[in-house]
């Protein structure tokens, strides 16, 4: 492909004698990756059931390369949320932010969710993830991916980071800022971005990036950690942004990032990490990990704008009796007839634009309860008392995902009529309603197989 002249000059200056090796990567095929969702499947289990000829991404414990012709987005396991399709080097930032169980975590520029879904999975149902994106359309895609992965302890917001900073000072244990950038590391995979680069270039983004990191620093608790990343090679968008942040926020300091033999040091800031495609099987990334001085502490609970803890209607409670997991009364939250289950721990302020507050359980309709798609994806098969389990190779699996009614009388007899948790090879896909061996399809229309 033809690269912008100004870009080639900057890369020659950056890479010097390595430039020709870098240029040769454009003649090689793009490496495609999937990252398994450890909330639903372990590495050992995945390697036993994988229908693809995958190869491990060596620096990502749950990352795998796959072959383009295998099309994992067209397999039922994708609809079961067993994996997320993600370029291998883009898996790195979430893997290097040291999230621990119980953390309060922010992904500031989260859409479409590649990094947020990994951060949420690593919380293992504890703590809280706030996934934010300023674009409402992109935030909707983010919400779908979080729910597809079965993550339940999440808030999805669509806010300007400046407003978030005002509402949530010193609130988060860990923050990821995967900043919008000129995308130089994506030219190989998406050649059209080279033209966009000519129109905008690094200077278009650096001022935005500086605003983002300052807002993130203000929201970080003492003792907390912030990871900044981009998919560009530009020093203006990478090391210069970090140097700016260190000058403006002297209570932050650079930390070492968990190493890998292919990582390159930052230019002038050796603790930063650069991923180059001629050194690793990934398209390119930059990362810097920073820590805020002081002792970590539990934040003061923010003023809660949600009327949680009210008793839920009888028909909702009756349905929930079919679930084996415990629920805490003070975490139920209703908006009109929609029922949510809020994350535990710190509450969120009400003066923000939310797309989702916790786990969407379902909706009360005319004195009956219809469970939501998000609830199905958050469950394990054994957590609901009546299930229909379809083999992945069964043609009815595809028909279910297309929204069709299917006949299931030959399958294992469910314990009761009515609502069934429909699974593929033991992994939940959605809901159906059983009557006389016929399963009425309740798979969410917006997610159907096209």
Return the active site residues: 231
Q: Are 284 and 276 in contact (CB under 8 A)?
A: yes
Which tokens is 10 given? Answer: 């900057």
CA distances from 292 to 122, 238, 299 (A): 22, 19, 15
C-alpha 324/C-alpha 381 separation (Å) is 10
Is 375 within 8 Å of 361 (Cβ atoms)? yes
Dihedral class, residue 3 (left if φ above 0, else alpha if ψ from -120 to 50, else beta): beta
List the structure tokens of 30: 């793009």
**What residues contact residue 36 under an 8 Å CB cut-off, 6+ apart?**
43, 46, 62, 63, 64, 82, 83
Q: Is the dihedral of CA 276, 282, 284, 290 positive or negative?
A: negative
- Which residues 6+ apart lie within 8 Å of 410 measured at CB? none
């Amino acid at each position: 492909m033809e690269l912008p002249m100004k870009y080639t000059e900057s890369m020659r200056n950056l890479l010097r004698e390595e430039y020709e090796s870098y240029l040769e990567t454009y003649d090689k095929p793009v490496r495609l990756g999937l990252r398994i969702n450890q909330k639903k499947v372990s590495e050992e289990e995945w390697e036993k059931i994988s229908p693809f000829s995958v190869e491990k991404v060596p620096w990502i414990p749950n990352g795998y390369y796959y072959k383009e012709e295998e099309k994992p987005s067209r397999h039922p396991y994708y609809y079961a949320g067993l994996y997320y399709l993600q370029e291998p080097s883009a898996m790195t930032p979430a893997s290097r932010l040291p999230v621990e169980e119980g953390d309060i975590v922010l992904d500031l520029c989260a859409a479409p969710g590649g990094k947020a879904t990994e951060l949420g999975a690593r919380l293992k149902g504890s703590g809280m993830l706030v996934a934010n994106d300023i674009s409402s359309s992109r935030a909707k895609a983010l919400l779908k991916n979080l729910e597809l992965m079965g993550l339940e302890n999440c808030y999805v917001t669509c806010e300007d980071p400046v407003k978030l900073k005002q509402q949530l000072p010193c609130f988060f244990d860990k923050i990821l800022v995967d900043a919008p950038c000129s995308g130089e590391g994506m030219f190989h995979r998406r050649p059209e971005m080279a033209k966009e680069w000519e129109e905008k270039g690094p200077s278009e983004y650096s001022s935005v990036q500086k605003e983002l990191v300052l807002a993130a620093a203000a929201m970080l608790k003492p003792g907390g950690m912030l990871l900044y990343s981009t998919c560009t090679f530009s020093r203006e968008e990478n090391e210069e942004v970090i140097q700016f942040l260190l000058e403006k926020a002297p209570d932050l300091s650079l930390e070492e990032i968990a190493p890998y033999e292919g990582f390159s040091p930052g230019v002038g800031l050796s603790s930063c990490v650069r991923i180059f495609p001629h050194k690793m099987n990934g398209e390119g990334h930059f990362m810097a990990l920073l820590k805020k001085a002081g002792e970590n502490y539990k934040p003061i609970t923010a003023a809660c704008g949600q009327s949680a803890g009210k008793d839920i209607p009888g028909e909702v409670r009756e349905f929930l009796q079919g679930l084996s997991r415990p629920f805490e009364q003070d975490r139920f939250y209703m908006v009109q007839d929609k029922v949510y289950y809020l994350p535990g721990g710190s509450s969120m302020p009400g003066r923000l634009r939310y797309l989702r507050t916790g786990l969407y359980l379902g909706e009360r309709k005319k004195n009956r309860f219809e469970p939501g798609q998000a609830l199905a994806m958050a469950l394990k098969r054994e957590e609901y008392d009546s299930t229909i389990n379809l083999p992945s190779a069964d043609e009815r699996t595809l028909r279910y995902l297309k929204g069709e009614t299917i006949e299931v009388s030959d399958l294992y007899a469910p314990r009761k009529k009515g609502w069934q948790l429909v699974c593929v090879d033991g992994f939940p896909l959605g809901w159906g309603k059983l009557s006389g061996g016929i399963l009425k399809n309740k798979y969410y229309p917006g997610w159907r197989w096209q």
